[in-house]
C-alpha cells in the first residue's frame, strides 16, 4: 500500500500475549500496509512467570532465536513499523534476529511497543544499534493493549510520522 508519503510500508511485529498484535492490526487497518508476525521457530512458554525467565535468559545470552517466517523482498519497503512488547527494558530477542537478518540502510524504522509501565526502556537504542544506517522515527508506546484510547493514539502517531 502506498501511504501519502509514497513509501511502501511493512508492519513487522512480535507479540507474546496478543497486546502488540492488536496494535499492529489497528495500524494495518488504518494504513493498509503489508504485515508480518515475527515468530520464533521455538515459541516462548505460554506461562507468564516462565516466559519472564526465558526472556531474561535470552537477553543475557544475546540469543538470536531462529525465525519461522521471513520477508521475501525487504528491498521493496521504505518504512518498517516494528512492534514488540518491552521485555526487561529492551526488545525481545526475536526482534534482534529480525533486525540482523536484513539491511535497513536508508530505510525508516518506526517502533511501537506495548508495555506494563516501562514505556520504551532502552529498546529504541537497541534498535538503532542493530540497524545503524536507518532513520528511526518517532515511536509509540502503548500501556498493555491501550484500552479505548488505542485507536486514537495510533491515528495521532501515524500522523506525527507522516503516514496518515
Q: What is the 3-state secondary structure (H, E, C) of 55-113?
A: HHHHHHHCCCCCECCCCCCHHHCCEEEEEEECECCECCHHHHHHHHHCCCCCCEEEEEE
Tell how far CA 158 is from the center of its chain. Answer: 14
Helix (H, G, I), strand (E, B) or coil at 136: strand
What pTM does this model have?
Answer: 0.93
Pairing of strands 108-115, 34-37: unpaired
pLDDT in tens, the chain (164 residues): 333 445 799 999 999 999 999 999 999 999 999 999 999 999 999 999 999 999 999 999 999 999 999 999 999 999 999 999 999 999 999 999 999 999 999 999 999 999 988 899 999 999 999 999 999 999 999 998 888 999 999 999 999 999 98
Q: How far is CA 81 from CA 20, 54, 58, 59, in A?
A: 12, 25, 23, 22
Q: Where are the domains of the chain?
A: 9-160
Q: Which helix (H) or strand (E) holds 115?
A: strand 108-115
Angle ∠(10,15,21) on CA atoms, nearest 5: 60
Q: Tell me, which fold does domain 9-160 have in CATH?
A: Rossmann fold (3.40.50)
Q: Would you list the DSSP string of 9-24?
A: EEEEE--SSSHHHHHH
Amino acid at each position: 500500500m502506498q501511504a501519502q508519503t509514497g513509501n511502501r510500508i511493512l508492519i513487522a511485529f512480535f507479540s507474546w500475549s496478543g497486546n502488540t498484535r492488536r496494535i499492529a492490526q489497528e495500524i494495518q487497518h488504518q494504513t493498509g500496509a503489508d504485515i508480518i508476525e515475527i515468530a520464533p521457530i521455538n515459541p516462548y512458554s505460554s506461562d507468564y512467570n516462565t516466559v519472564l525467565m526465558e526472556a531474561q535468559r535470552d537477553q543475557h545470552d544475546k540469543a538470536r532465536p531462529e525465525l519461522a517466517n521471513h520477508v521475501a523482498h525487504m528491498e521493496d519497503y521504505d518504512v518498517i513499523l516494528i512492534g514488540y512488547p518491552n521485555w526487561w527494558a529492551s526488545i525481545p530477542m526475536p526482534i534482534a534476529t529480525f533486525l540482523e537478518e536484513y539491511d535497513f540502510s536508508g530505510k525508516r524504522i518506526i517502533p511501537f511497543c506495548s508495555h506494563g509501565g516501562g514505556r520504551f526502556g532502552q529498546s529504541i537504542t537497541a534498535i538503532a544499534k542493530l540497524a545503524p544506517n536507518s532513520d528511526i522515527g518517532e515511536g509509540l508506546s502503548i500501556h498493555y493493549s491501550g484500552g479505548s484510547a488505542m485507536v486514537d493514539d495510533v491515528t495521532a502517531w501515524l500522523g506525527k510520522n507522516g503516514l496518515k
